[in-house]
Amino acid sequence: SDFGSNRVEEFENRHFLQFQEIRNKITTVRAVMLEGPIAF
């Protein structure tokens, strides 16, 4: 059945979204450190 592979896909999608979120936060922090508070 497809059930197992669907669960794996769902898990990977969630993991990917968390990874994107973390990467966005790191990018934001880096931008703040480089440009200072003026950027906001």
Tell me the average pLDDT of the chain: 85
pTM for this structure? 0.57
Q: What mean pLDDT is predicted for residues 7-16? A: 92
pLDDT at site 38: 60
Query: What are the b/e assignments for 5-30, b being 16+ CB within 10 Å?
Result: eeeeeeeeeeeeeeeeeeeeeeeeee
Q: What mean pLDDT is predicted for residues 20-37? A: 88
Is residue 34 pLDDT above 80, yes or no? yes
pLDDT at site 14: 93
